[in-house]
Amino acid sequence: MSKDMSCNPEGGCACSGKKAEAAPVESVSSRRNFLKSASMLSVNSLLGTAALMTMSDDARANTEWAEWFQGNYRLMSDEEKALARGRLERRYSREYAKTVIVDGTPAQEGVLMGYALNIKKCIGCRRCAKACVEENNQSRGKDQDMEWIRVLKMEKGEFSKEKMNQGYPEGLGIQVGGNAYSPAGVVLEGEHYYQADAVPEKDSVYMPIACMQCEKPPCVKVCPVRTTYREADGPVVIDYNWCIGCRMCMSACPYWARRFNWSDPNLPKEAMNPVTHYLGNRPRMKGVVEKCTFCIQRTRKGRYPACVEVCPVGARKFGNLLDPESEVSRIIARKHVFRLKAEQNTFPKFFYFMD
């Protein structure tokens, strides 16, 4: 344990057990709003069902009905995939009052996406986490604030003369030294609700984490309906329309990379990013799991993930692991890289390195 992760005045939720990751405790009034929206929702769905029953052309009801019956995306024919995406495009465009594209670009031939992060350079500014939320249409706001990237703050470590007598046996320290239990260096556990006036803070190192896009992902193995799977070009994706919300994948993930939509995501119309991919950043629904996809909607079109683009210190590198000249391949070839929790045999395609 690198740090006592007790109550944090701003983060609040580190210990209070609330849904939000960076937002304070849900208040009574929000609960009331919740109830209100619940009743409105149910009225909506009732109306939708009624519309269906009378064979009316209530488009919303019809799209949702068709969505409910659609098969697993991975197993659909190309025509079915196009149909499913078209349905979603129409629904999203209406719901968010803008033209929404739901792309379906398949895995690229000869590409294996990989990522490398220079922990020496990271200053803990969390612009990556913010850019990710904006790019990937995560839920935001008080009730349900969701971030796929968490930046862990860790102590550089210190050894003090005062602690020398605190060992075991008292005064001798022949079994446990007095400076035991003080964290030092890069460990996976860290504080990720830190509030700082300026970064980088003194005596701190930062390590951002997100989905490691494992080559042998334990989350995929435990999924009872194979809604989450590894795409040929590397990223582990989720068919949000096929997920049954059992959360086995969340238990199985050793990196705490997955998030659950406890209620309908709160995605303001004006903030919604209309350039989406079916397996990537399209808006999710309540009761399903989501996670980082290496910005599949960008990277399959030859762009960088949003976090790579926004990083002010160039700590984040992305590229094709099969191309020896890609940045990521060159880093793996020339630097000392490591994977998190390598003993889990998950073989992440997310590498850490130091200059």
d(CA 286, CA 274): 19
The DSSP secondary-structure symbol of 3 reads S
User: Which range of residues in 77-85, 256-264, 272-280, 325-333 is near other proteins by CB under 8 A?
Assistant: 256-264
Indicate the residue among 331 and 351 with the shorter CB distance to other proteins: 351
d(CA 258, CA 132): 14
Q: How far is CA 114 from CA 94, 150, 322, 329, in A?
A: 36, 19, 9, 8
The reply on whether position 163 binds other proteins by CB under 8 A is: no
Question: What amino acid occupies position 312?
Answer: P
Least distance in angstroms from the C-beta of 77 to other proteins: 16
The two beta strands, 275-277 and 101-103, are parallel
Indicate the residue among 12 and 274 with the shorter CB distance to other proteins: 12
Residues 7-46 that bind other proteins (CB under 8 A): 13-19, 21, 34, 37-39, 41-42, 45
User: Which range of residues in 80-88, 156-164, 216-224, 295-303 is near other proteins by CB under 8 A?
Assistant: 216-224
d(CA 129, CA 149): 5
Judge residue 37's burial from the number of C-beta atoms within 10 Å of its C-beta, 0-12 exposed, 13-18 middle, 19 or more buried: middle
User: Which range of residues in 124-132, 145-153, 317-325, 330-338 is near other proteins by CB under 8 A?
Assistant: 145-153
Question: What amino acid occupies position 62?
Answer: N
Give the x-and-dash track for 184-213 against other proteins (CB under 8 A).
Answer: ----xxx-x----------------x----
Indicate the residue among 27 and 72 with the shorter CB distance to other proteins: 72
* Choice from 87, 126, 150, 153 touching other proteins (CB under 8 A): 150
Report whether 149 contacts 135 (CB < 8 A): no
The reply on whether position 169 binds other proteins by CB under 8 A is: no
* Choice from 247, 330, 335, 339 touching other proteins (CB under 8 A): 247
Q: Looking at the DSSP assignment, which residues form a beta bridge with residue 205?
A: 154
User: Which range of residues in 91-99, 121-129, 246-254, 305-313 is near other proteins by CB under 8 A?
Assistant: 246-254
* Choice from 92, 242, 351, 353 touching other proteins (CB under 8 A): 242
Least distance in angstroms from the C-beta of 5 to other proteins: 5
User: Which range of residues in 3-11, 103-111, 230-238, 316-324 is near other proteins by CB under 8 A?
Assistant: 3-11
Residues 275-294 that bind other proteins (CB under 8 A): 286-289
Q: What is the distance, to the nearest Å, from the Cα of residue 144 to the centroid of all Cα atoms in its chain?
A: 14
Buried b (16+ CB within 10 A) or exposed e, 200-232: eeeebbbbbbbbbbbeebbbbebbeeebbbbbe
User: Which range of residues in 47-55, 86-94, 241-249, 311-319 is near other proteins by CB under 8 A?
Assistant: 241-249
The reply on whether position 260 binds other proteins by CB under 8 A is: yes
Residues that bind other proteins (CB under 8 A): 1-2, 4-6, 13-19, 21, 34, 37-39, 41-42, 45, 68, 72, 75, 143-144, 146, 150, 152, 188-190, 192, 209, 218, 221-227, 242-248, 250-256, 258-264, 286-289, 344
